[in-house]
Amino acid sequence: MEPHHVHDVLIPETDLEGRVAELAAGIGRDLDGRELVLVGILRGSFMFLADLVRSFHRHGIRTRIDFMILESYGSGTESSGTVRLARDCSIDVAGQDVLVVDDILDTGRTLSHAVRHLESRGALRVRTCVLLDKPSRRVVPFEADYVGFPVPDVFVVGYGLDYDHYYRDLPWISKVTFTG
C-alpha cells in the first residue's frame, strides 16, 4: 500500500448509529407491513447491513437476508467499467419486495447492475439503500431510494469499506490521506 493515514474521521460512530435508526424507521414506514428481502452487496455492506437489520427487528419488520458479490475490475481506488456478478443471491426474489444494500454509491455501475439483475429474476419491487453517496462521481445515471450521508469526492474507509482489504473493521468512516 502507498503511504497514507486514516486519522481524519468523517462520520463518527454516534452519527452512524443515529442515521441507521432513521433509515430503518423510514424504510419501515414505506413498507406498510410488507416483509422484505434484503440483499447486501459484499463485502462493503456487511457492517451497515448488520446494524440495519437489528434496527428493522426493533421496528417489527420481518426480513430475509441474502448477499450478492459484484466485482468491478480495477486496481487501487479506481473502479473499471465492467461489473461482473460473482455470486448471485439464493433466495427466490420473484414477486418479492427487495432492498439492495450497499456501502457507497459512486459511479452507479454496481447498483444499476444489481437492480437490473434482480428485476430480471422477477422481483416485484427493487429499492436501494446506501450508507454513503458521492453524487459528483456518477457515470451511470442512478439515484438510491435511501441515502445515509452524501460525501465529497474523497476516498473513505471504515464501517465495512476497505483500502486494500484493511480498515473494514473501523467503527466509523475515515478519510484516507495519501502522504507519499
- Binding residues for ligand 5GP, rule: CB under 6 A, are 44, 72, 79, 102-110, 155-157, 161-163
Asked if 154 and 175 touch (Cβ cutoff 8 Å), the reply is yes
> What is d(CA 146, CA 27) in angstroms, rounded to the nearest whole number?
8
Q: Which of 40, 44, 108, 158 touches Mg ion (CB under 5 A)? A: 44
Q: Are the C-beta atoms of 20 and 47 separated by less than 8 Å?
A: no
Residues that bind Mg ion (rule: CB under 5 A) add up to a total of 1
> Residues 170, 6: contact at Cβ < 8 Å?
yes
Query: From the list ligand 5GP, Mg ion, none, which binds 156 (C-beta under 5 to 8 Å, kind-based)?
Result: ligand 5GP
Query: For residues 15 and 162, which CB has a smaller minimum distance to ligand 5GP in the complex?
Result: 162
- Residues annotated as part of the active site: 106
DSSP one-letter code for 149: E
Q: Contact at 8 Å (CB) between 4 and 164? A: no
Residue placing its CB nearer to ligand 5GP in the complex, 53 or 161:
161
Contacts with Mg ion by CB under 5 A lie at: 44
